[in-house]
Amino acid sequence: MKNNVGKVFVVLTTFLSVAFLGFSFSARIAGTNWEGEAAALDKYYVEKNVNEKETTYTLKDKINQESIKANSKLLPDVIVAAYNHEATQLNEKIQALEPLPEQLKKRQDEITAQQKVDLKAMEAREQELQKIFLAQVKTIQELSVEGDKIAQEALTVWKEGELRREDVARLRNHLEELEVDQFQSLQQKKRLQDELSRMRGVLARLQRRNVQLKSSYEE
């Protein structure tokens, strides 16, 4: 990571150097519009101070109004100072980023250690849940066996109840038959008693007639 940042800085410095050399070469060959270059600066602006003795230029930061280079007699000097100041700030930012990989490595090590702790805790929890699951399965199996046993007992009781209900129905039918027989016996007994009473009446009449006949015969 540090090597990559250093390479970026080298490339950037080289680019700025080449740009400045090209800028200087163009100034020598064809001349440069220094006023236009000053106006084209993005982060800086140039203050021009004119008095009776001389003209000076001051370079300032557009954001915080900080003076970068003051009272320069040459406009190209303040423009070069602007490029150098920007290059210096970029270099400081790059150097500020260099410790970051170490911080990232430390944070990565902390996360890795935490992941190991979490993984160990998850494994322990998984084993605990596995034990609970096996215990629940065993309990369900035991309850299933007990349920089958109760169901079998209930079926046996139901069958016995069916047999007893059949016996009760059979006994009830037999009782009804006995009641019918008893009723018929009572009816027959009543008829026999009536017949007996009638025969007794006939016998009594015959006996009286016999007495009368005997009396008539004796006379």
- The answer to whether position 56 is within a domain reads yes
- Residue 141 CA to residue 144 CA, distance in Å, equals 5
Mind listing the pLDDT tens digit for each residue in 89-120? 888 877 776 656 677 778 888 888 888 888 88
3 state DSSP class of 58: strand
57, β-bridge pairs: 48, 72
Cα–Cα–Cα angle for 61, 30, 36, nearest 5°? 25
Domain end (from 98, 124, 143): 98
Domain end (from 50, 78, 98): 98
- The answer to whether position 187 is within a domain reads yes
- The answer to whether position 189 is within a domain reads yes
What is the residue range of 142's domain?
132-219
- Residue 140 CA to residue 75 CA, distance in Å, equals 93
Residue the block writes with tokens 């008539």: 216
- Residue 16 CA to residue 78 CA, distance in Å, equals 16
Token output for 74: 């040459």
Average pLDDT over residues 164-176: 83
**84 plus 151 within the same structural domain:** no
Check if the beta carbon of residue 20 is closer than 8 Å to that of residue 37: no
Mind listing the pLDDT tens digit for each residue in 23-62? 554 544 345 688 888 777 887 878 878 887 888 888 888 7
- The answer to whether position 108 is within a domain reads no
**142 plus 215 within the same structural domain:** yes
What is the model's pLDDT at position 116? Answer: 87
**46 plus 90 within the same structural domain:** yes
**15 plus 93 within the same structural domain:** yes
**82 plus 146 within the same structural domain:** no
> What percent of the chain has pLDDT above 90?
0
pTM higher than 0.85 for the full model?
no
- The answer to whether position 41 is within a domain reads yes
- The answer to whether position 55 is within a domain reads yes
- Residue 187 CA to residue 182 CA, distance in Å, equals 9
Average pLDDT over residues 9-13: 57
Mind listing the pLDDT tens digit for each residue in 204-219? 888 887 777 777 766 6
pLDDT bucket at 2, cuts 50 / 70 / 90: very low
- The answer to whether position 191 is within a domain reads yes
- The answer to whether position 77 is within a domain reads yes
Cα–Cα–Cα angle for 101, 99, 118, nearest 5°? 45
**80 plus 161 within the same structural domain:** no
Closest to 49 (Cα-Cα) out of 57, 37, 61: 57
**12 plus 93 within the same structural domain:** yes
- Domain count for the chain: 2
